Chains A and B, each alone.
Chain A
Amino acid sequence: MAETVTSPFKTEGSGPIAKSSRILINQIQVLLRTSQIHDIGNVAFDRPVTNLIGALDGLFKTDTEFALRCRGEYLYIDDTRVRYDIEDMVSYELVSSIMKEKKIGSFNFQKPVSQDDLKKFAFALNSFVPPGPNQPEEEFNNILKERGIYSIWAGPLEEAEQIKLDDLADRRKMAKKTYFQAVSVTRGVMNSIKSEQPTHLKKVKRVIQGIVDIILGEEASLLGLTAIKDFDEYTYNHCVNVSILAMTIGQKLGLDKNMLTKLGIAALFHDIGKVDVPIEILNKPASFTEDEWTVVRKHPEMGVKAISKIRGLNELAASSMAVAFEHHIFYDLTGYPVTREKKMPNFFSRIVSISDQYDSMTSARVYARIPYSPDKALSLMMERSGVQLDPLLFKIFANIIGVYPIGTLVMLDTRELGLVFESNPNPEKLDRPKVILITDSSGKRVAGKTVDLSETGQAGGYRRSIIKALDPKKYRINLAEYFL
């Protein structure tokens, strides 16, 4: 197997350009909001406008012109993706959803941009209604010119349908390859631990780095794969799923790539202590006896021992140890193991707790003998938010999984059936995920085509909406068939 490790995307880290980019996006959001409430002469504009001018100056340092682009779910300054900090999450998603709603792909800024230009631009954008599919950006540019704004103009939304689909296919292929590499590397590591052979973590690190690359590019392709469960008799598949879910939360939180790698490895090893739990117990079809529970409940501590056995301690092992030990302790400290010194589980442990619960509940082999449907699992977890689960991290997680979690079977108002494939990052459109269609309106099976439920038709209304959520397992739908 050959694998490229070069990331196709450059994500701007922490330099001054990155900072200006973040301020730009943040303040555009403030500016738009302000212009919805106040008149153009209001002092409320002073701050956002001044901040924006500052950010623009920062970005003009290298060139007299640049573009703020929206591609897929991400924002770019020219071709560098803007990495957001947790603080910018809301404005980041708002700006990108507004651009999509107005069918505008980019805003180009040319030096010099005046304060007046910015204010007028905000009012123009707020009141702009895209006139249909034909070059809405030109329409908007006409409005800008009418108002005397020449320093800002719009570019077309990259009607990337075609390019994107090809690309998506490639990405899915890549994601699939990486996913199964991760499963086999996990199997290799677990086996070497079980047989007390020397364990090489380089491969683990490489494969997790590969996943980070994919997640930073577009998380959906891997998240879809986590909906496929229980295909190995051990828990490798579970480990990889938990790792991907945890890294996706980490990505939303704006962790940098090295931190994401650390989180991914820790999450992958969260159940490493189970290598010592007899397979008969792990795969027992009935509920555990008290004795069996005692054995299973020991796995966090066994995990600590397993990790220290293979590596002793280093920076990498440290976070893995913490997660292995604490992932069942819970936010309210009511879980196991019972510790002498009570303390809030580590941030990573709390992220993994959430990922682990979700994947466990939706899998047949981990704890629950009969898996919950994804939406049932999520609503159960919602009840535990603030109790067993960190409420803030749960919000992030719910945002990723969406109102209709990935893998949910949905009936659309077109009488098509679809499988939810990717949630809508705009919190106002959580009920409009991306869906793979599996039947047409007459109920006939179709080869999975991906549709975006936030897509609007000619008349302006949504093309498709969900009317019901169903459990795919009940109807013997093999998710793998669609998600691989």
Chain B
Amino acid sequence: MEELFQKIPDQPLKQPEEETLVPESELKAVRELLQSLLKTKRAFEMYPANNPILAKFQDDICRRFDDFFGDADKLPLLIRQQEILYKGQSVYKNTEKDENLALLFYKDGLRELTFLEGFSHEELMDFIEVIRAKPDLLSENWDDDIVTLLWEKDFAHLRYYVVEEFSDGEALSEEEVQRLLSGESSDDLSEAYKDADEGEAKEIFSPLESISMGFKGVFSLGEEEVKTLKDEIEGLTDEKFLDEAIYCLFESLFMEKGSQDFELVAGSLESALSYLVHTGGFRTASNILKRFRELSGGGEGLSQHEAERLKTAITRAGSESRAKIIAEVLNSGREINIDDFREYLGHLDRASIIPLSNLMGEVQDIKYRKALIDALVSLGKDNIEVLAAGLKSGQWYIVRNVAAILGRIGDKKALEYLKQAVKHPEPKVRREVVRALGMVGGPKAGEILLEVLDDTDPQIRMAALRYLPQAQNYSVLDVLVEVITRPDFEERALSEKRVFLEVLAEIGQEKVMPFMIKLLKKKNFLFGNSKNEEMRVSAAYGLGNIRHKDSLRALESVSSHAKKGSALYEAVSYSVHKLAGPDGVGQEA
């Protein structure tokens, strides 16, 4: 426990400077503890906070502190520039400039550091947080050092001693202070006595009067008043202050209308925006963007030039470099309100389209990716050509994402761009392009989908096929028939053949019925049973899509010959069932 009126020490608590007898085992423990501390600090600098590897370092340093305090009640460390001493003995020495624990403490003025028994794991983690290098992201805003941070954390079991260095010319010397303060002081106060006696001296508002009012008087607060103050105090959050500052900056911006300093204040608002994005403050950031938008829209008395200035700021808010920061923030594991983030994105302009599409490959969390896609869909709607430029990206995932967004938008204008991506070397891209084509739909999309029928990836070919019926383009029929009648078509997998014939039937209906029936009935003994059988099976499935009585009749006629349990039998039964069912073509009486 602290002494009641413990004097503020002017000198550091004395440590034996001379060598005393300290068991080697004790020194070794301290040495290893400091090494472990340094390693843990480094690990926390290298890995993101959620990396499991950190737990290992954390456990090690916690264990070492616990072990040390098993035998001792304090761990006093004397800090020198390149060395740390414990009980007069060197326990850490490093002459390098980097990664030097002694120098790290020394440079901020720390000269002594004493951990006390009871130093908890929580305090230890706070301590590591204090000493670890801060992310560069915020370094320009950094107004703290180890000493100010130690003070803020208010450690219960850590004492430290600091020297404050004032550079020359900064400190007021004792003499200067005296000179500044020297005023003549009269020795003769008889005048004061005279005034007092003659009643010249004014009495201030009567003290007795205010006191008689007691607790309800001028100097006391009522219950309601206390509550009002308490609410105000509770409202003093960082976010509130940031909002206040933004308010001041916007007010200043207005005051600077038509002045050169408009640029300065606009710049401040922009850097505020950048800071807010850095720290994940998307709510306040989107308020800034919202006001930028309102103001740049005119009608607020801003000059053309000034309105343009704010538009530039909006453009920069979605720039490549800002997008990188957004990615870092989103991936940092920091708590971010998704609605605020969505709102921020919603205020960006078309210049952000490419940077945001690039972002999608970098952002890990699906919920942010979804927000990005939604934002791009709404931004891209009126800017198809800008968005489509992303299809030329060298990064396959960007091309894929842009394709997906174009699909979501569903604008036919996108087709000419998608057409260029349909032969992309990356299958994941081609699959997405096919899906996009399907979503856009229409005859033109159908034409492009046909190009995919020769894709090397059967999955992609099948995907393209499945989208064809929506294209409502009958010219595709010829192409399909051409592919089906190729001699090597039979070699394809049953599943693909089936899709081909199903799609052909679905689009062609009666037009292709004779062709289909022919296939169903065709027996070819030359090429082993199986391949031919698969063509018949596929045709059977396909006929199930032709809502015509002849189709049903053909199926039924095969059904009687097909071997029960065979694939053909199953396919025929399936299609018969489909056509003869309550919603089917039925059988004429």
**Residues of chain A whose beta carbon lies under 8 Å from any beta carbon of chain B:** 1-6, 8-10, 13, 71, 76, 78-79, 85-87, 89-90, 158, 160, 163-164, 167, 170-171, 174, 180-181, 183-185, 187-188, 200-202, 204-206, 209, 228, 231-232, 253-255, 257-259, 261-262, 301, 304-305, 308-309, 311-319, 321-322, 324-326, 337, 339-341, 343, 346-348, 375-376, 378-379, 382, 392-393, 395-396, 398-399, 403-404, 409, 411, 415, 417, 427-431, 438-439, 443, 445, 466-470, 474-478, 480-481, 484
Once the chains are docked, how many angstroms separate the CA of A184 from the CA of B245? 27
Binary CB contact string for chain B from 167 to 195 against chain A (1 if under 8 A, 0 otherwise):
00011100001001111111101111101
- The number of chain B residues with a CB under 8 A from chain A is 98
Does A164 lie within 8 Å of B5, measured CB to CB?
yes
Q: B389 contacts the other chain (Cβ, under 8 Å)?
A: no
Q: B205 contacts the other chain (Cβ, under 8 Å)?
A: yes
Partner of B8, one of A8, A76, A209, A417: A8
Q: Given A392-B229, A411-B201, A428-B214, is A326 in contact with B248 using a C-beta cutoff of 8 Å?
A: yes
Q: B127 contacts the other chain (Cβ, under 8 Å)?
A: no
Once the chains are docked, how many angstroms separate the CA of A290 from the CA of B185? 37
Q: Given A3-B162, A427-B220, is A79 in contact with B1 using a C-beta cutoff of 8 Å?
A: yes
Partner of A395, one of B4, B165, B191, B218: B218
Does A403 lie within 8 Å of B2, measured CB to CB?
no
Once the chains are docked, how many angstroms separate the CA of A229 from the CA of B29? 55
Min Cβ gap A107→B in Å is 16
Residues of B within 8 A of A325 (CB): 248, 251-252
Once the chains are docked, how many angstroms separate the CA of A171 from the CA of B218? 31
Partner of A322, one of B196, B205, B235, B244: B244
Does A206 lie within 8 Å of B147, measured CB to CB?
yes
Once the chains are docked, how many angstroms separate the CA of A428 from the CA of B1? 34
Most A C-beta atoms less than 10 A away, residue of B144, B205, B252, B271: B252
Binds A, one of B150-158, B309-317, B445-453, B545-553: B150-158
Q: B525 contacts the other chain (Cβ, under 8 Å)?
A: no
Binds A, one of B261-269, B405-413, B516-524: B261-269
Q: B166 contacts the other chain (Cβ, under 8 Å)?
A: yes
Closest A-B pairs by Cβ, 5 of them: A308-B268, A375-B204, A318-B245, A313-B272, A480-B181
Q: B148 contacts the other chain (Cβ, under 8 Å)?
A: yes
Binary CB contact string for chain B from 133 to 146 against chain A (1 if under 8 A, 0 otherwise):
00000101101110
Chain B contacts with A in 308-355, Cβ cutoff 8 A = none
Given A180-B172, A185-B170, A322-B248, 15 additional A-B pairs, CB 8 A: A5-B150, A9-B2, A9-B6, A90-B220, A170-B8, A181-B171, A184-B166, A205-B143, A312-B140, A321-B245, A395-B221, A411-B196, A427-B214, A439-B189, A469-B204
Q: Given A1-B171, A79-B1, A206-B147, is A89 in contact with B226 using a C-beta cutoff of 8 Å?
A: yes
Q: Given A317-B245, A469-B201, is A427 in contact with B143 using a C-beta cutoff of 8 Å?
A: no
Cβ-closest chain A residue relative to B161? A4
Does B248 lie within 8 Å of A316, measured CB to CB?
no
Min Cβ gap B138→A in Å is 8
Does B172 lie within 8 Å of A184, measured CB to CB?
yes
Does B221 lie within 8 Å of A89, measured CB to CB?
yes
Residues of A within 8 A of B98 (CB): none
Q: Given A87-B230, A395-B218, is A313 in contact with B242 using a C-beta cutoff of 8 Å?
A: yes
Once the chains are docked, how many angstroms separate the CA of A76 from the CA of B5? 12
Does B251 lie within 8 Å of A341, measured CB to CB?
yes
Binary CB contact string for chain B from 59 to 87 against chain A (1 if under 8 A, 0 otherwise):
00000000000000000000000000000
Cβ-closest chain A residue relative to B221? A395
Does A476 lie within 8 Å of B185, measured CB to CB?
yes
Does B220 lie within 8 Å of A395, measured CB to CB?
yes
Partner of B241, one of A5, A86, A308, A322: A322
Does B236 lie within 8 Å of A445, measured CB to CB?
no
Does B204 lie within 8 Å of A202, measured CB to CB?
no
Between-chain CB contacts (< 8 Å), 10 pairs: A1-B166, A6-B9, A86-B230, A180-B171, A255-B233, A322-B248, A395-B221, A411-B201, A417-B189, A476-B185
Partner of B5, one of A160, A183, A340, A480: A160
Once the chains are docked, how many angstroms separate the CA of A474 from the CA of B145? 47
Partner of A6, one of B160, B210, B255: B160
Once the chains are docked, how many angstroms separate the CA of A318 from the CA of B145? 19
Does B2 lie within 8 Å of A475, measured CB to CB?
no
Residues of B within 8 A of A339 (CB): 251
Residues of A within 8 A of B196 (CB): 411, 467-468, 470
Min Cβ gap B375→A in Å is 25
Min Cβ gap B578→A in Å is 67
Residues of A within 8 A of B242 (CB): 313, 315, 318
Once the chains are docked, how many angstroms separate the CA of A309 from the CA of B269? 11
Once the chains are docked, how many angstroms separate the CA of A1 from the CA of B140? 28
Most A C-beta atoms less than 10 A away, residue of B5, B12, B220: B5
Most A C-beta atoms less than 10 A away, residue of B160, B172, B225, B228: B172
Q: Given A184-B172, A312-B140, A322-B245, is A13 in contact with B232 using a C-beta cutoff of 8 Å?
A: no
Residues of B within 8 A of A313 (CB): 242, 245, 268, 271-272, 275-276
Does B161 lie within 8 Å of A6, measured CB to CB?
yes
Q: Given A86-B233, A439-B189, is A5 in contact with B181 using a C-beta cutoff of 8 Å?
A: no
Q: B247 contacts the other chain (Cβ, under 8 Å)?
A: yes
Min Cβ gap A271→B in Å is 15
Residues of B within 8 A of A396 (CB): 221
Q: B238 contacts the other chain (Cβ, under 8 Å)?
A: yes
Residues of B within 8 A of A378 (CB): 204
Once the chains are docked, how many angstroms separate the CA of A321 from the CA of B243? 11
Cβ-closest chain A residue relative to B179? A231
Once the chains are docked, how many angstroms separate the CA of A202 from the CA of B2? 28
Min Cβ gap A458→B in Å is 25
Q: Given A232-B180, A477-B186, is A10 in contact with B226 using a C-beta cutoff of 8 Å?
A: no
Does B225 lie within 8 Å of A392, measured CB to CB?
yes
Q: B488 contacts the other chain (Cβ, under 8 Å)?
A: no
Residues of A within 8 A of B274 (CB): 312
Residues of B within 8 A of A428 (CB): 211, 214
Does B248 lie within 8 Å of A304, measured CB to CB?
yes
Chain B contacts with A in 86-106, Cβ cutoff 8 A = none
Most B C-beta atoms less than 10 A away, residue of A181, A262, A347, A443: A347
Residues of B within 8 A of A375 (CB): 204
Once the chains are docked, how many angstroms separate the CA of A474 from the CA of B200? 12
Residues of A within 8 A of B202 (CB): 376, 469
Does B172 lie within 8 Å of A183, measured CB to CB?
yes
Min Cβ gap B251→A in Å is 5
Q: B7 contacts the other chain (Cβ, under 8 Å)?
A: yes
Does A316 lie within 8 Å of B143, measured CB to CB?
yes
Once the chains are docked, how many angstroms separate the CA of A480 from the CA of B255? 42
Min Cβ gap B152→A in Å is 5
Most B C-beta atoms less than 10 A away, residue of A10, A395, A481: A395
Residues of A within 8 A of B195 (CB): 468, 470, 474
Min Cβ gap A18→B in Å is 12
Q: Given A411-B196, A467-B196, is A341 in contact with B8 using a C-beta cutoff of 8 Å?
A: no
Once the chains are docked, how many angstroms separate the CA of A261 from the CA of B151? 11
Min Cβ gap B411→A in Å is 40
Most B C-beta atoms less than 10 A away, residue of A163, A322, A382: A322
Residues of A within 8 A of B154 (CB): 13, 257
Residues of B within 8 A of A231 (CB): 180-181
Min Cβ gap B334→A in Å is 15
Does A427 lie within 8 Å of B219, measured CB to CB?
yes
Cβ-closest chain A residue relative to B264? A305
Most B C-beta atoms less than 10 A away, residue of A8, A259, A375, A439: A8
Once the chains are docked, how many angstroms separate the CA of A201 from the CA of B238? 18
Q: B203 contacts the other chain (Cβ, under 8 Å)?
A: yes
Does B251 lie within 8 Å of A202, measured CB to CB?
no
Partner of B2, one of A8, A89, A311, A439: A8
Partner of B205, one of A209, A301, A379: A379
Q: B249 contacts the other chain (Cβ, under 8 Å)?
A: yes
Chain B contacts with A in 205-222, Cβ cutoff 8 A = 205, 207-208, 210-211, 214-215, 217-221
